[in-house]
Amino acid sequence: MRDPDGLLARAGVRGNPDRDQHFLVDDRVLDRLPTYLTEIDADTSHILEIGAGTGALTDRLLEAGDRVTAVERDPALAEFLREEFADEIADGRLILLEGDALDVDLPDFSASVSNLPYGVSSEITFRLLPEKRPLVLMFQMEFAERMVAEPGTSEYGRLSVSTQHYADVELVEPVPKEAFSPPPAVESAVVRAIPRNPDYEVDDEAFFLRFVKALFTQRRKTIRNAIRNTPHISGLDDPDAVVDAADEELLSKRAGAVTPVEFAALASLAADVGFDEHE
């Protein structure tokens, strides 16, 4: 197994916090990350890694899976990876995609294990979640706690509802700053997401997620006022019609106390009565 400090030395790079570069160098954490897939018997035939860096995690994923696709946007690091893993690339076990993970065409992967760049972790996560594949991802602790939060807690919000719409999520491991080089300013955490179908029906997923977003922008207001105040976000033509049709008890709640099931029912009602018929 390649030594993470040795990889950093051979690459001749130092992490740049200004470019969101914090290399995971703790052997124990690196060794554990792939096990969060294997312990749930996930398909490891084609593992996707976003933000390969110097390849410390890539090396371990090659041990755990049949094939790995690694995405790296830094040209110097991508060149180093091509040299360091020349044999694995030559035999087809490693595919290197140089570019931004938000722009490149992602392969048909079976699972993803990634130490994400924190600045774009939300956008990348919501690119991966709809693919309905098992994910093991590193986040800032605060972000991870919001992903797994339950209704009625201070961390519960749009991120919780949107994430849990796609998957069962759990925070499987806190990771200290010292596990990275250079250490980030915040604690980190590993989240595992196992795809699932939600225990509610939504006819229009895009509208449901937009509607949830709208109501959480007014999280201090009652649902009644939040619906009325956010048609510019939700796209509703007639928010008052939604308020008139909705359950009074639900309308008096605030978004932080509304369960995903209740959001889904309210979104379905809003879709039925809140749009002009000609649309």
Helix (H) or strand (E) holding 211: helix 205-216
24 marked among binding-site residues: yes
With CA atoms as reference, report the closest residue to 138 among 194, 193, 88. 193
Pairing label, strands 94-98, 23-24: unpaired
Q: Are 138 and 115 in contact (CB under 8 A)?
A: yes
Q: Does residue 115 have a known ligand-binding role?
A: yes
DSSP string, 223-251: HHHHHHH-HHHH--S-HHHHHHHS-HHHH
CA distances from 195 to 46, 111, 133 (A): 17, 10, 6
Residue 267 CA to its chain's centroid (Å): 23
Residues 6+ apart with CB under 8 A from 184: 17, 22, 118, 140, 177
Distance between CA atoms of residues 274 and 204, nearest Å:
14
225 is in an annotated binding site: no
User: Known binder of ligand: residue 62?
Assistant: no
51 in a labelled binding site? yes
* 111 contacts 42 by C-beta, under 8 angstroms: yes
22 is in an annotated binding site: yes
Q: Give backbone dihedrals phi and psi of 32, rounded to 5 degrees, phi first.
A: -75, -30
Binding residues: 22, 24, 51, 72, 100, 115
Annotated binding site for S-adenosyl-L-methionine: 22, 24, 51, 72, 100, 115
